[in-house]
A and B are shown apart, each in its own frame.
Chain A
Amino acid sequence: MRWWDFKEKSIKYILFIAAIFATITVIFIIGFLFAEGFPAFREVGIGTLVAGPEWVPTGVPERYGGLPLVIGTLLVTGGAVLICGPLGVACALFLSQIAPPRARFVLKPAVELLAAIPSVVYGFFGLSIMARWIKVAFDIPTGETWLNGSILLGIMALPTVVSVSEEALTAVPREFKEASLAVGANKWQTIRSIILPGALSGITAAIVLGLGRAIGETMAVMMATGNAPIIPKPVWNIFSPIRTITGTLGTEMGEVPLGSIHYHSLFALAVILFGVVIIINFIATWILGYIRKKQYGEAGKKGRFRVSLSHEVIRSIKRVLSYTLGFFLLTFLYFALGIIAVGGAILVYLTYRWVSPRLSRKRSQGIAFKALWASGIATIIILGVLLTFIIARGAPAISWDFLTKSPRDSGREGGIFPAIIGTLYLVAGAIGVALPIGIGAAIYLNEYAREGRITKLIRMGVDALNGTPSVVFGLFGMAFFVLYLQFGRSLIAGQLTLGLMILPTIVRTTEESLKFVPMTLREGSLALGATQWQTVRRVVLPPSLPGIITGSILAIGRAAGETAPIIFTAAVFITRFLPDSVFDPVMALPYHLFSLAVGVPNSETNAYGTAVVLLTVVLLINLGAIIIRSRYYRERL
């Protein structure tokens, strides 16, 4: 008996350590960013860093005014959310409510593929293809603009919005839908007045997560927006080049002298970026918590699924929504973008209000369904265009030598073998770090912990880590692993940094799928005298495995394609050798593509080739995982 108890207890403690890990990491990140950023706050001043009008770090005298970067970040992200929010929610509605099986069968993998495409490939597409289209279409001097960046970011954030919203929509109990249909509502009325409100918290979460993805994105904006630190004139000029905070960090961190004011200023910018993201996330979490509390009642926090859509609840949801809207409105108004965004939204809303009562419900269902179909088709077309152009231009570069030889002539000639291997090492290490910790943390949170201060602290840590922009991870990895622990620019520093970055994805998706396992199964097992751990291992984990695998797929795809976290921690442009130990630097596919596209003229062929290989690697990883998952489903159900 003693041994039994001891085992159960030690498992619980191990899981607890895994769970608190994220929080500790966040504290470390904040600590290191502050320590490195502090001299700049003292010398330059926080006012200048946030609101100074000019950013000229190499000028005489040097000027570190961050306003153009802050505005650039808000504009690009705002534009992206305007694209991915409506399109994503429509797509999710289409998938979860009206898509015939065959359409689902095409669209679902398409969305997964969009999520899997690395940001550097998006950036490359934006830089070398879309920028040209924009330039020609609007007859402007350069296509590398705010518009270009927003479209790219919108597409990149789309899968997040779609998948999270779809999950929320599917989770609305069927009974509600049936009850609504049973009183004679048609499908669209049911969707609009029952299913959408029921999934509101999830959809809000989806859009906020999309926003988080967009605001922290580095590579794509760095490559596609022209990277000029100017405020658009006038401020709604979507054809102006623009530069974001992340873009600045990515561009300048590599060349800055260690310890200079410029170096510290970049860390100070990272602190500001981190702060903004954390604040957005906490507001979002608070909204979500509020909606959930109202919707499910205090008692329904765990396990028991209680939903009552009383009038009061709907009213409070509306109230929360109006607060949210108010918040975003203020932000946007402050930065003058509001005029377009709000004007457009109001116009759409008024049109809708004017049109909808004048249509028969059959007509309005017809129009709505057509719009949902269109959003689904649009998503597939976007993916198709992306893949077709890159593959068509990159395929001629692919040869046996390209895959198995080292690069020559700054990558214009030769192959990319060391980069392929380097990427595989990086991903394997990152998953090796993140998977056990992430799954352990999720199990602790969902199966062991009683909701209280500790779980709140842990969840805050995971949320903060999840919102942390990838480039901030890069800076932290550089400050902590490379410089402080003196790993140097090395494979292990990159693996650890990537591992920290994908940790929250794994925690979240695992916890979601654990929640999906009905409470009655746990009770069934516990009632047979199984211990907590036996119940977790044998009853709770097996049915949630497909969900956990899906989460890991997303994480792997992200780790393989991420560039920003490895630029300063692990990657080098050219080395002819594979790493001998984990303390050697490596080449990596995404960084190689970035370097060719941005830094090496006349290397288009090999750049496209690298993009194709990177795409193939990432897509193969995904395909493999999807196959595993579907086989698993077949076996179990």
Chain B
Amino acid sequence: METGAKLNVDRLNVFYGDNHAIIDASMKMPQYRVTALIGPSGCGKSTFIRCLNRMNDVIEECRVDGAVYLDGVDIYAKDTDVVQLRKRVGMVFQKPNPFPKSIYENIAYGPQVHGMKKGKELDEIVEMSLRQAALWEEVKDRLDDSAMGLSGGQQQRLCIARCLAINPEVVLMDEPCSALDPIATAKIEDLIDQLKKEYTVVIVTHNMQQAARVSDYTGYFYLGKLIEFGNTKQIFENPREESTENYITGRFG
């Protein structure tokens, strides 16, 4: 791999109560590249991505074994500051989840909880994040309107902007387009292409064409196991595993 591994997952196991949701998954996600995680529903890809910024901590009955190294440091170590971790590893969720606040407040929220006061600097961050998320032109005249009034696609770009505003190093996206129409999806995909210049991106997607279009690396999950991981081109054109080939050629899933 031409650049160093930003995230290195080592023998990760996840349990929901008695359910073994992820079985011994290991992979390296390179810096400034887009890594896509694909697989049929229930294969564990969303669970996996939520391990990368410890969002699974929120779920009570969930237990995680193994290690995830961010720049060589295990985020599951005892002394990890989860709050700082999530500042470095941002996340965009499946369904757009803007706060019921104004557009401006949504973006400003992240910087504010990290101690930034209201003022010019914050205004600039808001504008820059919205520009990065390709939303600025559409909302610049109504920053004080409620974010709930935006369309689904706009809301999702708002959530991406909100994530970028805290200047993370890694952006996790959990099926960011699954609730969107094709036009909005195309916009988000363009955006992902832009993002990898500055961020390391991990995206879970249900849509194989999308994975092929946007990602550099692809991991294929099936029944909680990481079946195959590698260069996207290789995975799609010349998969090593039969299960991968079956999925990609649409024989199931």
Listed in ascending order, the chain A residues whose CB lies under 8 Å from chain B are: 1, 4, 298-299, 301-304, 450-451, 518-531, 534, 538-539, 542-543, 636-637
Residues of B within 8 A of A299 (CB): 16-17, 61
B84 near A529 (CB under 8 angstroms)?
yes
B47 interfacial by beta-carbon distance below 8 Å: no
Question: Once the chains bind, are A529 and B101 in contact (CB under 8 Å)?
Answer: no
Given contacts A528-B113, A529-B84, 17 further A-B contacts (CB under 8 A): A299-B16, A299-B17, A303-B59, A304-B59, A520-B97, A523-B58, A524-B97, A527-B90, A527-B93, A528-B110, A528-B163, A530-B113, A538-B109, A538-B113, A539-B99, A542-B100, A637-B148
- B residues engaging A (CB < 8 A)? 16-17, 53, 55, 58-61, 81, 83-88, 90-91, 93, 95, 97-101, 109-110, 112-114, 146, 148, 159, 162-163, 166
* A529 touching B17, Cβ below 8 Å: no
Q: Which residues of A contact B59 (CB under 8 A)?
A: 303-304
Question: Across the interface, do B97 and A523 meet the contact criterion of CB distance under 8 Å?
Answer: yes
Q: Which of chain A's residues have a CB closer than 8 A to the CB of B112?
A: 538
Q: By the criterion CB–CB under 8 Å, are B109 and A525 in contact?
A: yes
A527 touches B53 (CB 8 A): yes
Contact among B81, B99, B146, B166 with A1 in the assembled complex (CB-CB below 8 Å) = B81
Report the minimum CB–CB distance from A508 to chain B (whole Å): 21
Tell me which residues across on chain A come within 8 A of B85, comparing CB atoms: 529
Report A-chain residues with C-beta under 8 Å of the C-beta of B146: 636-637
Question: Shortest Cβ distance from B57 into chain A, in angstroms?
Answer: 8
CA distance A637 to B159 in the complex (A): 18
Q: Give min CB distance, A385 to chain B, whole Å.
A: 41
Identity of the chain A residue whose Cβ is nearest the Cβ of B19 in the assembled complex? A299
- Checking A522, A523, A534, A636 against B100 with a beta-carbon cut-off of 8 angstroms, the contacting residue is A636
Q: How far is the CB of B169 from chain A (nearest CB, A)?
A: 12
B115 nearest in chain A by CB position:
A4
Is the contact region of chain B dominated by helix, strand, or loop, or is it mixed? mixed
Q: Are A528 and B86 in contact (CB under 8 A)?
A: yes
Closest to A539 in B: B99
| Of A524, A528, A539, the contact of B87 (CB 8 Å cutoff) | A528
Q: Which one of A298, A451, A524, A526 lies within 8 Å of B99 (CB-CB)?
A: A524
Q: Which of A1, A528, A538, A637 has the most CB of B within 10 A?
A: A528
Inter-chain CA distance A520–B98, complex, in Å, is 9
User: Do A531 and B97 have beta carbons less than 8 Å apart?
Assistant: no
A145 to chain B, nearest CB (A): 52
Partner of A450, one of B60, B84, B101: B60
Q: Is the CB of A527 within 8 A of B91?
A: yes
Query: What chain A residues lie within 8 Å of B109 (beta carbons)?
Result: 525, 528, 530, 538-539
A-B contact pairs, 27 of them (CB 8 A): A4-B83, A299-B61, A301-B60, A303-B58, A451-B60, A518-B97, A521-B100, A522-B58, A523-B91, A524-B93, A524-B162, A525-B113, A527-B53, A527-B55, A527-B86, A528-B86, A528-B87, A528-B90, A528-B163, A529-B86, A529-B110, A529-B114, A530-B109, A534-B113, A542-B101, A543-B100, A637-B146
